[in-house]
A = this chain, B = another copy of it.
Amino acid sequence: MLTIKTQRKNMTVSSGLSEEMKPEIVSLHPLDTAAAPKPELLCIFGTGDLGRSLGLRLLQSGYRVVYGSRRPHSCSPLPQGAQVMSHAIAAQSASLIFICVHREHYEFLETMALHLEGKVLVDLSNNLKKDIYPEANAAYLQRLVPGAAVVKGLNTLSAWALQNGLLAGKQVYLCGNSAEAKQAVAEIATKLGLTVLDRGSLSAARELEDFPLQLFPEWRLPLRVAVGLTAFFFFYLLIRDVIYAYVEQGKDISFRIMVSLANKVFPIVSLIMLSLCYLPGVIAAFLQLYRGTKYRRFPDWLDRWMLCRKQMGLTALGFAFLHAIYTFIIPIRYAVRHKLISHVVDEMKNNKTTPFYFDNTEAWGTDSFYVLGILGFFLYVLLGLTSLPSVGGSLSWREFSFIQSKLGHLTLFICTAHGYIYGWNKFLRPSTYKWYTPPGYMLCLIVPSVVLVLKLLLLLPCVDRTLTRIRQGWERTQPMGEMGESKATNL
């Protein structure tokens, strides 16, 4: 029976429901505050910003805190309720010590190694740059104090976030060689409202120390693609529009660079990047069809591409946003107003009789053009909204993928149609091909059209059926069939 009880305790703990405890709960003895258990005592070395903010937070979460300082009697103001002592005495009073000191000053810890025997040392340090030291700070610390259990972690928190209580639900990483020590730190972190991820042994410390130094790593590829495309189309259109006009007609229309030209480049880049969002999904599907299985890894480049689609899409949205605003201000531009007035005056001067024939087709065409643009932009913004972490997180997987995949492809379709209508009556005019180059919008329609055609092929019932089966685990040349393995929420 004993084993059962123990087991039960283990299972129910976090909420404390074992039946043998009930009686006492019901007739609870008068609370006697003197006998109440003291909260756990934690030690912090270092009274800088980080040390102070961390201490404040620990105190608020119900811990007692003691600081270890080189000059315990003259250090900067510490959170109320904390004690300050010399390093050695502070270390003795607690079993877990947060090291909030710069790595450059770790040496003094070596001299204290005896006091730190058997303690858990949490290394929260970061460096100013990558690879300035041969070993990770935490590995260095472990070398200095071999008798302690060093845990690297929490270093992604800023003093600022700690101080302002912006921790709830945030993920932090831990690593260390002692499972017990990691467990202790994990529990403190959980009480602070953090979610803890164990990254294994102390050899992962370097990786953890590199985290806070990252500057938008997943944005790099999309931004590079964006800059590349922008530069290319800018110069392409500069030549075709401005320089062509200057060379062939002697007209200086360089003022167009600022708005007209930019407002051609932006939609082009936006559309191409939008299609680049949906191209890898299509490639992946064809690869799976070709291979007849989903159990072989995609090539590296495809993997990396698929992982930055969100950033790709948001960059595309940025360009679309710029395009929209550039379009809205068109009519208040000097050049546009000037052209309108000149137009009227010209008409009047030449005294035409039917000067203003209203072209119904033109009205339909341009209006459809605008309407498609507006709808596309609307859906674009919707995609962007659902990619906000808090919105996306409140959607079910099916809802998220309905918006991102179904509405996403619809967005691509509408935006591509917007592009086609733009050039609807210009495709066949020779004057369009200045210096034998196609206009920008024609170039930008290639990739989206390809993506849409390929996607259409994938939607053919027979292809779709095969693909669905493959994605559910079926394999064309099944060796011995573990096809029963469950796919993710497989809708």
A47 close to B485 (CB less than 8 A): yes
Instruction: Evaluate contact between B31 and A215: CB separation under 8 angstroms.
Output: no
Asked if B212 and A195 make an inter-chain contact with CB atoms under 8 angstroms apart, the answer reads: no
C-alpha spacing A348/B362, complex, angstroms: 26
Asked if A362 contacts B334 (CB within 8 A), the reply is yes
Chain B residues in 8 Å Cβ range of A47: 482, 485
A288 an interface residue at 8 Å Cβ cutoff? no
Q: In the complex, A50→B377 CA distance in Å?
A: 35
Selected contact of A326 from candidates B254, B374, B481, B485, CB within 8 Å: B374
Q: Is A29 an interface residue (CB 8 A)?
A: yes
Does A142 reach chain B (CB closer than 8 Å)?
Answer: no
Of B125, B198, B200, B214, which one neighbours A486 at CB under 8 angstroms?
B125
Residue picked from A15, A47, A318, A326, most chain B C-beta under 10 Å: A15
- A316 interface hit (Cβ, 8 Å): no
| Residue of B whose beta carbon sits closest to that of A72 | B482
CA distance A193 to B189 in the complex (A): 12
Nearest residue (CB) in B for A373 is B329
Q: Is A433 an interface position by the 8 A CB rule?
A: no
B-contact 0/1 string along A164-191, CB 8 Å cutoff: 0111111100000111111110110011
Is A75 among interface residues, defined by CB-CB distance under 8 A? yes
**Which one, B14, B17, B396, contacts A190 given CB within 8 A?**
B14
Contact A93 B6 (CB under 8 A): no
- Is A19 touching B8 in the complex (CB atoms < 8 A)? yes
Q: Chain A, 329-361, contact with B by CB distance < 8 Å: what is the 0/1 string?
A: 111111101101111110110000001101110
Q: Mark A65-96, 1 if CB is under 8 A from B, else 0.
A: 00001110011110001000000000011110
Q: Which of B81, B95, B216, B485 contacts A48 (CB 8 A)?
A: B485
This chain: copies in complex: 3
Residue in B3, B22, B159, B213 whose beta carbon sits within 8 Å of that of A38 in the complex:
B22
Known interface pairs A38-B19, A213-B398, A371-B262; A325-B325 also in contact (CB < 8 Å) = no
Residue A363 contacts which of B74, B255, B295 (CB distance < 8 angstroms)?
B255
Give the size of the chain A interface in residues (CB under 8 angstroms): 193
- A363, B335: Cβ atoms closer than 8 Å: yes
Minimum CB–CB distance for A486 against chain B, Å: 5
Distance, CA A489 to CA B48, complexed state (A): 11
In the complex, what residues of B have CB within 8 A of residue A216's CB? 399, 402
Neighbour of A259 across the interface among B59, B166, B328, B371, CB < 8 A: B371
Complex Cα gap A259–B363 (Å): 10
**Residues of B with C-beta under 8 A to A159:** 487-489
B259 near A8: Cβ-Cβ < 8 Å:
no
Please determine whether B262 and A46 come into contact, CB atoms closer than 8 angstroms. Answer: no
Top 9 nearest A-B pairs (CB, nearest first) are A105-B484, A159-B488, A14-B14, A48-B485, A193-B195, A390-B390, A10-B16, A19-B37, A258-B367
Given A50-B486, A340-B341, A388-B388, 19 extra CB contacts under 8 A: A7-B28, A8-B18, A8-B180, A12-B15, A14-B15, A15-B39, A17-B37, A37-B179, A46-B484, A47-B485, A108-B484, A157-B489, A215-B399, A215-B402, A258-B370, A328-B329, A332-B370, A341-B347, A348-B348
Q: List 22 A-B contacts (CB under 8 A).
A: A7-B29, A8-B19, A13-B13, A19-B35, A19-B37, A25-B41, A31-B180, A60-B197, A60-B199, A62-B198, A70-B480, A76-B295, A166-B389, A166-B393, A169-B193, A171-B193, A215-B396, A262-B371, A325-B378, A329-B374, A337-B340, A345-B356
